[in-house]
Amino acid sequence: MFDLKTLIRPNILKLEPYRCARDDFKEGILLDANENTIGPAVADLSPEEDELLLNRYPDPHQVELKQQIVDFRNSEALSELKNFETDKLTPDNLCLGVGSDESIDLLLRCVCVPGKDKVLLCPPTYGMYSICATVNEVEIVKVPLTTPDFQVDNTKVLEAVTADPNIKVLYITSPGNPTGKLVAIETILDLVEKCKANWNGVIVVDEAYIDFAALDQNGKSKSLSVLVNQYPNLVVLQTLSKSFGLAGIRLGVTYANTTLIRYLNAMRYPYNISSLTANVAIRASNKEGLSTMKEYCSRIIEQRASVLEKLQAFKGVGKNLGGLDANFILVEFLDKEGKPSNDVAKKVYQILAVDNGVVVRFRGSELNCTGGLRISIGTPEENKTLLEKLDKVLQQVNGFN
């Protein structure tokens, strides 16, 4: 049933990629791209910045960076990858974007005809899927996550996509945002298998927080990125914003089968990854950078457990609504009767931010998240301040002693 060539929009199938000046030659006296040959108009460039030749257009393909990324993910390959040598990731499985948001938008534009096709979302979920769908005039269909475990309802999703052939894309966040809950690998792969046989569409798994999730029994990451060659209808999104701590460089990664990636790379704007971004990302994804990333993730995971334990000792704080698979927790706030309350959560949020300078995120309006505040895990000092101030705010709001 799954047929990529009939899924992709006809105009994209015919699209000829823009040929950049750097596609042919990267060395020599380069007088082909109308660059400013004198140099950048910045008086105090550092030696490292000067070596980047910022007056020149960046590498449009970023093969070195892609190779480091796939080497890392291949080293963490799941046991579900049956044929490692033939199905392992290569740079041809990657499309780099300006954050994951560009990747989300590219996929919609690649397969969804405006005003006709639809996207399926599983709320509560990341808000940019809806925004990108609305901008691209793609109708939104919703199948909520199950409660209280926040897992994908495979039966209802399969019913929805098989009943409506205009649904072309399914977005799943795993670990979820705002839920912080990993969707079980077996659940996603079961859905991928069944959809491949019954639906002509792609399942996109957004793994922005995957490196904060617990490792599998073999000590490997639970990322599905290594499976995209095995499952042609599976697409995986990642970002360097979270575990790598590089939100400021705006770099997202799309993993998919090589055919789909060719079309996505043909669609993306030339030179979308700057030399500055690439330079930092290459350093972050080398051996030393990966070691640092893993160490920082371990610290955050340790702090996450500590913060949640101390929070739940406070009167007026209920359960952790979601999971422990991201760098945040989604905590329930209660009224005097012990019931989840958006009024209480909003007051706590407002007083914390305005009067105490501690900013968290109100998520109580999200489906099945009543009374929820999403709290990012900070440094030990920040977490200590959060707990001290929150204790006082809760006494102020609810009169708890």
Q: What is the CATH number of the domain that holds 65?
A: 3.40.640.10
Query: Tokens standing for 47?
Result: 């030696």
Report yes or no on 27 lying in a domain.
no
Helices (H) and strands (E) in the chain, counts: 14, 11
HSE (side-chain half, CA atoms, 13 Å) at 114: 8
- pLDDT, tens digit (0-9, with 9 covering 90-100), for 239-297: 999 999 999 999 999 999 999 999 999 999 989 999 999 999 999 999 999 999 999 99
- CATH number, position 374: 3.90.1150.10
Dump pLDDT digits (tens) for 219-242: 788 999 999 999 999 999 999 999
The arithmetic mean of pLDDT across residues 318-342, rounded, is: 96
- DSSP per-residue codes, 251-279: -EEEE--HHHHHHHHHHSPTT-S-HHHHH
Of the pLDDT bands very low, low, confident and very high (cuts 50, 70, 90), residue 400 is low
Q: Name the strand (E) or helix (H) holding 106.
A: helix 99-111
Tell me the HSE value of 182 on the side-chain side, using a 13 A CA sphere. Answer: 19
Answer yes or no: is 38 within a domain. no
Reading across the β-sheet that carries 118-121, which strands appear in turn? 94-97, 252-255, 234-239, 202-206, 167-173, 118-121, 139-142
Tell me the pLDDT of the chain averaged across its residues.
Answer: 94
| Domain containing residue 161 | 4-20+57-285
User: Can you tell me the mean pLDDT for 26-34?
Assistant: 85
Residue 232: what are its φ and ψ, rounded to 5°? -65, -20
175: which residues sit within 8 A by CB, 6+ positions away?
181, 182, 183, 207, 208, 209, 210, 212, 213, 323, 325, 326
Task: Render pLDDT for 344-377 as a digit per residue (tens, 0 to 9).
Answer: 999 999 999 999 999 999 999 999 999 999 999 9
* Same domain as 212, residue 167: yes
- Shared-domain flag, residues 237 and 331: no
Structure tokens at 60: 């449009």
- The H-assigned helical ranges of 112-184 are 128-135, 154-163
Residues 76 and 224 in one domain: yes
Closest Cα to residue 347, out of 400, 391, 397, 401?
A: 397
Q: What is the pTM of this model?
A: 0.95
Say what the pLDDT of residue 80 is.
Answer: 86
Domains contained in the chain, number = 2
